[in-house]
Amino acid sequence: MEDCIFCKIIRKEIPTELVYEDEKVIAFNDINPEAPVHILIIPKEHIPTLNDIGPEQKNLMGHILWTIKEIARMKNLQESGYRILTNCGTGAGQVVFHLHFHLLGGKRFE
């Protein structure tokens, strides 16, 4: 997708603080963090929302969740705890229509 901001990040056309990258996903610091650790994990494939996941993406979804757990370990969040969040659709507050998971940590959540 030409105009998608996260696709531009994947193509390295927009600079970001990269946290992790492999052939299927990348992770980078959120530009407007809501917690001491606020990382976005996204598939390299342009998928607008969770609603657009088909059966062929089930393995990718597992890989993303595994990646989130590994990043949480890298950031020493496994003991203190962390939160994973995805907004699906405008009504839920989704602003960027390229599937992404927020990894939030480094503070206590109520």
Interface residue list for ligand 5GP (CB under 6 A): 5, 14, 16, 28-32, 40, 87, 93-96
What does the alpha-carbon distance between residue 70 and residue 77 come to, in Å, rounded to a whole number? 10
> Which residues are catalytic, by number?
100
6 binds Zn ion (CB under 5 A): yes
The DSSP code for 64 is: H
The least distance separating ligand 5GP from the CB of residue 60, rounded to whole angstroms, comes to 18
What does the alpha-carbon distance between residue 62 and residue 74 come to, in Å, rounded to a whole number? 18
Closer to ligand 5GP by Cβ: residue 14 or 74? 14
What does the alpha-carbon distance between residue 59 and residue 72 come to, in Å, rounded to a whole number? 20
On the CB side of 67, CA atoms within 13 Å amount to 25
The least distance separating ligand 5GP from the CB of residue 79, rounded to whole angstroms, comes to 25
The least distance separating Zn ion from the CB of residue 103, rounded to whole angstroms, comes to 19
